[in-house]
Structure 1
């Protein structure tokens, strides 16, 4: 057996549930929300994340600022 084992880190894969939870946390941090609304709120963010996951990237470009690509390639 080798004395040194090298492992390459794998990128973190985010799924729709992770994205929904992050959006949910941001929402309740910014806006006062009743606890009994949490389930519906999370479900809405999950639905948004799933819908966007299924879209092609070109369908989403319309939501970016017009100068987005100019800034990101600097």
Structure 2
């Protein structure tokens, strides 16, 4: 058996709960809030993340800045 084993890193899989927590953290770091509102804020961000998870690119394209859309289309040749 080899003494040194090399393991390739695997990409981190993000889920809706992870996204909601990160959005909540950004919100809490940058806005005034009351402790009692944290659950409601998390619910809103989780709902947003779950909704966007099931949307297609074409459903969301109108919300992406035009400059980014043009780069995506060139790169992926849509």
Q: TM over 0.5: same fold?
A: yes
Unaligned 5+ runs, structure 1: none
C-alpha deviation, 1:43, in angstroms: 0.4
3-state SS in 1 of match to 2:24? helix
**Structure 1 residue ranges (4+ consecutive) displaced by more than 3 angstroms after TM superposition:** 69-73
TM-score calculated relative to the size of structure 2: 0.82
Q: Which residue of 2 aligns with 1:52?
A: 52
Give a deviation string over 1:10-63, Cα, whole Å, max 9, x none: 001111011000100111111110000100110000000000011112211111
C-alpha deviation, 1:3, in angstroms: 3.2
1:11 paired with 2:19, answer no
How far apart, CA to CA, are the structure 2 residues paired with 1:64 and 1:41? 23
Give the alignment's Cα RMSD to 1 decimal: 1.5
C-alpha deviation, 1:71, in angstroms: 4.9
Unaligned 5+ runs, structure 2: none
3-state SS in 2 of match to 1:55? coil
The count of corresponding residues between Structure 1 and Structure 2 is 73
